[in-house]
Structure 1
C-alpha cells in the first residue's frame, strides 16, 4: 500500500515563513507597539464603536500575519474578526453597507486584491512547519471560509488532518480540494484510502475513477481500483480491471503476476467449492441408502428371533419342565421386542432421510457444479498462461516460479486424494495409472521450485523442493513411472 501523505513540507515560495532576523527590527518593534495599542483600544467604548478602528485593526493584524514575524502566530484570526466588526458597524442611515463595509466584505470573501486568505494560508504553513498540526488545520479551514473555491488550503488542510488522524476532517478537506477542481492524483489516491479504511468501497472506487478522469494514464489509481475490488470481494471485476491493465501495458511484469495470482486464487476457491458440492450431492443419497440398509438389517434380526422362538417353543413342548429352555425363550422374546422397537425408530429415520434426499435441489446443484467446473478450468488455464507470460519477460521472477511450482504441487496432492479414496478393487484396476500421473505432477513442479530457490534464497521454496524430492524418491522406490 502506498504511503498516504502527499507533500512533506508546505514550502511553497509564497508561503515560506521568513525568519525574524530577516525582518527589519524596527518594523517588528512597530508591529508590537501598534498591536499593544490596538489591543488596549478594544476596551475603549468610543474606539470599539467605530468601523474605522476595526478596519485599522483588521489591516494591522493582516499585515502582521503576512509579515511572517513572530509577533502573533494567529494574527489572521484577529483580522478576520475585525473585518466582521467593520461589516457590522459600517452602515448608512438606510441600513445599507458603507464604503468600509464593502471593502471588508471583499476581504472576507477572498476577492482579488485582498490578502486575508493568503494570511491564513501563510500562518497555517508556519504552524505546520513548527509541527503545530492542530493550529495549522484550523488556519487552513478558516482560509477556506474566506475563499471557498480555493484548492491550496483544502489540500494542506487535508494533509494536516490526516497526520492528526482526524479522518473525517481529512476526507472533508480532500473532497473540497477535488470538488474545487484539484487534479493531483495522489489526493484522489489518498482520499480513496480513507474511504477504504471505512469499508466504503463504492465511494473509494468512485473517487479513483474521478482521479482517472483528471489523469487518465495514472497507473497507481488504476492499480488501486483492482486492490479495492479485491478487498470488497469483487474478484471477477478485479480480474477484468487487471486484464485491461495488462492489455494496455503488456510488459508490466507486476500486473501480470497479480493477474496470475488472481486466477490462481479463483482456481483454488472453485476447486474447494466443487468438492463441497460433490459431497452435498452425494451425502443425501448416501444417508438415505444407509438408513434403508440399517432398517433391513434390523428386520432381518426379527426374522431370526422368530425362528428361534419357534424352535425353542417346540423343544419346551417336549420338555415342559426344562428351566434353561424357558430362560432362552424369555431372552429371545426380549431381544425380539427390542428389535421391533428399533425397526420403528429406523423406519422413521429412513423416511426422513428419503424425504431429505428427495427435497435436495439436485438439478440446481448440478447446474452450479457444472458452472463451477467451467470457471475452475478457465481460471486454471489463465493462471498458467499468465505466469508463463511473466517468465517470458523475466525468467527469474520468484513469484511466478514459486507459484507455478505450488500450482502443480497442489494438482498432484488433489490427484493423490483419488488414489487414497480407492478400495482394493479400484486400485487394482487403475491405481497404478493414476499414481503415475500424480508422480508426473510432482515432477512438473520440481524445476519451478529449483529455479525459485536459485532466484531467491527463501525457506518456503526450499522446503517445498525437499518435499517434492522426497515424494519422487518414494515413487521411484515403488517402481512408479511418472507420466505427465
Structure 2
C-alpha cells in the first residue's frame, strides 16, 4: 500500500511537471506567432510606405518642375504589373498627385515636356475623378475640389485657343469637360451648382463650327431655356436646322423665337428668307409687312419688299419700295441696281413690242422703239449710281455699256469699255 501511494505521488508530480512544460511551450508558440505576424505587418507597412514614398517623390519632383521624372515616378506607383504598386493603386492620393502632374504638363512652356502627353487635361480630369472614387471618407475632397476648379480655368484656356485656331472639335471637347466638372457632386457641394450658360452656349458654337449640328442644337436649346443671348440663340438653332436641310424645324424654331421676342427683326428676316427660298410668297409678304411695321426706318425691309413685289410682277409697287429703301439709305447699291434693272427690262420688253410691228408700218415701229429708248434712259441714272457706289461691279458696267451703245452715247460707251478692260 505504501509503495503504491509513492508511485502515485511520483506520477502526480510528473503530471504537474508535464503540464508546466506544456504551458511553457504553448506560451512560447503564441509569442513566436505574434512575432511572425508583427514581422509580416512591418514588412507590409514598409512596402506601403515605400510606395507612398514613391507618390510623395512624384509630388516633390512635380513641385520642382522635374515633370518627366515626376511622370515616371507616378507611373511606377500605378503600374499594375508592379507588385509593390498594389499598395499605391487604391490610394486616393496617388491619383490626385497624378492629376496634378498632368495639369502641370499642360501648363508647361517646354515643348519637350508637352510631348509627354497627348491630352494632359483630359488625363488630369480622369485622375481626379479616380481620386474622388477611391476617397470614400472624403479625406482629400477639399484638395481635389481646388484642383478641379483650377482645371476649369485650364480647360477654358484650351477651348479659347482651340477655337481661335479653328480646332473646333478640341474646343467642343474642352467646353464639354468643363460642363462635366461643374456637374460633379463634389463641385455642387462646393457651391458651384449654378448653370453655366456661357459655357453651354460656347459648346453649341463650337459644335456648330465643327459641323456637329445635332450637338449644336442640343446646347443652343439648353441655353435658350435660360434665355441666354435672347433671340440670337433661336437664330442659331434655326441656322443649325437649315444646315441639316430641315427647314420645317428651322421655321418652327423661328416662330417660337418670334413669339418670345416679337420686337426682334432679325428673326423675321430669317423667316422671310426661308419662305422666299421655299417660294412661299404669301407667307414671306405677311412677315415682311410685320417687319416693316416694327421697323419702318429699316431700308433692308423695304428693299426685300421691293424684291418680292418684283418677283410677283407688281412693278409699280416694287419701284416704290426700292425708292423708299434708297430714301432711307442713300448708298444702297442693290436698290439702285434693281431699279435700273426694272427699267432696263421694261425697255427690253418694249423692244420686243417694236420688233413685232409689221415691216409695212415703219412709223408704228419707230413709235414703239422710242418708248423702249425712254425706258432705257430711265435705267441709266440708277445704273450709273450703282457703279459709282461699287466701281468694281461688272454687272452694272456691262448694263451701262449696252445702254450707252443702244442710245448712241459713244463717249460714255468708250469710257465704260475701258473700265471693264481694266478690271479684267
Q: Does 1:84 align with 2:120?
A: no
Q: Residue 53 of structure 1 corresponds to which residue in structure 2?
A: 94
Q: 1:453 aligns with which of 374, 380, 384?
A: 384
Q: 2:277 aligns with which of 204, 207, 231?
A: 231
Q: 1:121 aligns with which of 147, 156, 161?
A: 156
For residues 331 and 164 of structure 2, the distance between their equivalents in structure 1, rounded to whole angstroms, comes to 46
Q: Any idea what SS the aligned residue of 1:99 has?
A: coil
Higher relative contact order (CA 8 A, sep 6+): 1
For residues 455 and 75 of structure 1, the distance between their equivalents in structure 2, rounded to whole angstroms, comes to 57
Q: Residue 141 of structure 1 corresponds to which residue in structure 2?
A: 176
TM-score, normalising length from structure 2?
Answer: 0.59
- Correspondence 1:34-53 to 2 at 5 A: 34-43=70-79, 44-53=85-94
Instruction: Name the CA shift for 1:225/1:57 in 2 (closer, same or farther; >3 Å).
Output: same
For residues 68 and 214 of structure 2, the distance between their equivalents in structure 1, rounded to whole angstroms, comes to 38
What per-residue deviation string (whole Å, max 9, x for no partner) do you get for residues 176-233 of structure 1?
Answer: 4444543166555444333223322233334445666776655544433322322232
For residues 333 and 168 of structure 2, the distance between their equivalents in structure 1, rounded to whole angstroms, comes to 43
Total equivalences in the alignment = 321
For residues 242 and 65 of structure 1, the distance between their equivalents in structure 2, rounded to whole angstroms, comes to 56
Q: Any idea what SS the aligned residue of 2:87 has?
A: helix
Instruction: Name the CA shift for 1:439/1:397 in 2 (closer, same or farther; >3 Å).
Output: farther
For residues 109 and 261 of structure 2, the distance between their equivalents in structure 1, rounded to whole angstroms, comes to 40
Instruction: Name the CA shift for 1:182/1:36 in 2 (closer, same or farther; >3 Å).
Output: farther
Task: Name stretches of at least 5 consecutive residues in structure 1 with no aligned partner.
Answer: 1-24, 92-97, 268-378, 471-484
Per-residue deviation at 1:443?
Answer: 1.2
Asked whether the equivalents of residues 155 and 174 of structure 1 are also in contact (C-alpha less than 8 Å), the reply is yes
Instruction: Name the CA shift for 1:216/1:460 in 2 (closer, same or farther; >3 Å).
Output: farther
Task: Name stretches of at least 5 consecutive residues in structure 2 with no aligned partner.
Answer: 1-60, 80-84, 184-194, 389-395, 409-424
Q: RMSD across aligned C-alpha pairs, in angstroms? A: 4.5
Q: Does 1:262 align with 2:301?
A: no
- Correspondence 1:148-227 to 2 at 5 A: 149-179=195-225, 181-183=227-229, 188-208=234-254, 218-227=264-273
TM-score, normalising length from structure 1?
Answer: 0.52
Per-residue deviation at 1:403?
Answer: 2.8
